[in-house]
Chain A
Amino acid sequence: MNKESNGLGLKQWEWEIKPETSWWDIGFVELYSYRDLMVQLARKDFLALYQQTLLGPFWALLQPLLTVVTYVLVFNKIIGVPTDGVPPLLFNMIGITLWTLFSEVFLQISKTFSQNAEIFSKVYFPRIIVALSTLWLQLLLFGIQLLLLFAIYLLFVFKGQVEFNAGRMLLIFPIIANTAGIGFGGGLIFSVLTAKYRDLMSLIQLIIRLLMFVCPVFYSLSMVPEGVRWLVNLNPLSSLFEYFRFAFLGVGSLNDLHLLYSAGFMVLIVFLGILLFNKMSDKLMDVL
């Protein structure tokens, strides 16, 4: 806030527009005042997503279901990937639900600038509001998919094939937060990069696909040969998937050090993402 007073010497200026945004100049108060907009944007995207569609929000359920069926067919029935004695349907469902959260958050947030260039060039609001509303919407869609996962899970619990443990289940909340955080931070960084370099957009799809193969989504860490396990462990998402599956099934290779690595990575990437996004968002308007 500027200390210089205006002509009358009574009142200070409430705001100023300077050529540069400093790295630390994140207006949290301003951000809070735009909370209505955040909710509204998420609402708009949700409504627009299912406008004039046959199944509406059921798509959020159908999508992972179809993926799971494909995975079970390909990996378990055809290739024969073992699932640690867990029913393949449930095993894949757990992995895919969490993976969808990460990949969707990452992908959608990385489109922040490229998809909103029109609005951004006409009206000001803190640009990160759009990213936050995307995160919000994706968490909501994830919530719907999580319900489906629970329904299937309970089915297997009643059949006695897996065992439910409430204390263990609480683990999913920090895991979800951690996964969404990595997607959010990475998405913010890539939103800035893709705004400047359009050609990186196609790279994102590739990154997501490659990450998935070095992540225990449709296999578990214990099946990975010792020699290449370091590669999977290098992926900060890996331990999250092991813990997430453990919360449901009670099996998995847990390693607190790896979990700490994931958490540390998340904090770092969210921090860097917000700083970069904030610093660059005004400058990017010249190149959009």
Chain B
Amino acid sequence: MSKTVIQVDNISKLYNLGTIGSGSLRRDMQLWWQKNILNKQDLNQEIRDGRKIDTNDHIWALKNISFELKEGEILGIIGHNGAGKSTLLKILSRIIKPTEGLVRGSGRISSLLEVGTGFHSELTGRENIFISGHILGMKKAEILKKFDEIVDFSGVENFIDTPVKRYSSGMYVRLAFAVAAHLEPDILIVDEVLAVGDAEFQKKCLGKMNDASCQSGRTIIFVSHNLQAVSNLCSQAIWLDRGSVRARGKSKAVLNEYLGSLHKKSWIKEFPTLREAPGNDRIRVVYVELLPHLDDPLSVIDIRTALTVKFRFYNATDNIVLSIDLLLFTLAGECIFDIPSKPEIYAKGMIEGECTIPGNFLNNGSYMFTLHFSKDTSSELFNYQECLMFDIADYRESTNWYDKWWGYVRPDFPIILKPLTILS
């Protein structure tokens, strides 16, 4: 059994908005004078103390966070912007102090909250490797030993004696990350550093982190918006939501819950009366729903999931040649497909329809459906744009490629390879 290397015990962080940030000596002296000499309470203070402390000028960035990590575990921290992820990392990195609670641990801890911390743009790559290495907590002997390896990893050998201000931004980031990647702490804290660099470099970095944990038994705490990376790298995950732990456990389960919460709401649209329903005096769409074919209703739509779109609309025109198109767009607005229905004559009244998109067809990403209604296959009756929005999560087996899979679609057509015997 491996040992616990870090224990976070009930930490909270309170930020004062305004009061200490006033930055004015006069104001603070006034407050001090009123409080300690005149024994008068500041009026704002009084109201605040009378009630809960959670008023407008205070915010609990973190509230009662507890967890433990064992040696060699990789913990992913996910959550929306402002959920407290960075605050938590800063406390663990000893940059800021918690307001309450305690963190205890064993072993050397290093944090990478940004790439290129301590880089000086006027100095050469060589100088900066030493500066950054030292700031991140490496010893001189360590840097000397790994110097060649670092230069090699960064791929900027030819420019190592050039001031880094003349580097391209890509080179700069690569060099900065190369230093960081050669840290050998017992606990590594990483924040979003993978958001930089090109795809190939990102892959290299993720691989490096994976190695660090698997081979060296390093414990890693990792914050990212790249859920793919979290799911592939991390064994454990924590979902932070407005300063509190919303879910904690195996990374797959936490991620599914997180993704589920993100988009479940927009999977169904139903309108009780025709008046409220979107449309015009010819067409009213009263119901649209996306029904993923999932065995477990809590799990998430991934690329293997078949999807059924169901819809119901009111047709206000009698004896009309009606056809509808189901269109799928990416979030960027590119059309993936346009499936038309067979044009037929319909009487006035409610019409229901459905269409199923098989699994193993779409690539992972965010998509929107649009329903388009037309008369005589040529004139538009109504275009219901972006009626359903949903995410498809990634799923991969037997690959070490962590980066975004290329292409709009990802059909599962088999490729047959046959080794040929060469006659010599």
Contacts and interface: CB of A to CB of B under 8 A. Distances in A.
B7 interface: yes
Main secondary structure of the interface of A (DSSP, over half): loop
Most chain-B Cβ atoms within 10 A of its Cβ — which of A4, A16, A286?
A: A286
Contact of A48 (B3, B15, B111, B122): B122
Contacts, number: 128
B25 A282 contact: no
Contact of B104 (A2, A121, A198): A2
A252 B97 CA distance: 51
A36 B24 contact: no
B99 A6 contact: no
Interface stretch (B49-57, B123-131, B347-355, B396-404): B123-131
B310 interface: no
Interface stretch (B133-141, B197-205, B293-301): B133-141
A35 to B, nearest CB: 10
A122 B114 contact: yes
Contacts of B21: 287
A285 B96 contact: yes
B122 A197 contact: no
B292 interface: no
B25 to A, nearest CB: 4
Interface in B109-159: 109, 111, 113-114, 117-118, 120, 122-123, 127, 130-131, 134-137, 139-140
B23 A196 contact: yes
Most chain-B Cβ atoms within 10 A of its Cβ — which of A44, A47, A197?
A: A44
A119 B137 CA distance: 13
A6 B95 contact: no
Contact of A18 (B90, B97, B111, B127): B97
Contact of A14 (B4, B105, B127): B105
Interface in A8-22: 8, 10-21
B135 A119 contact: yes
Given A123-B113, A286-B20, 4 more contacts: A18-B102, A19-B100, A40-B130, A123-B137
10 contacts: A6-B104, A8-B1, A11-B3, A15-B105, A17-B103, A17-B104, A48-B122, A121-B95, A124-B93, A197-B24
Interface of B: 1, 3-4, 7, 15-16, 20-21, 23-25, 28, 90-107, 109, 111, 113-114, 117-118, 120, 122-123, 127, 130-131, 134-137, 139-140, 163
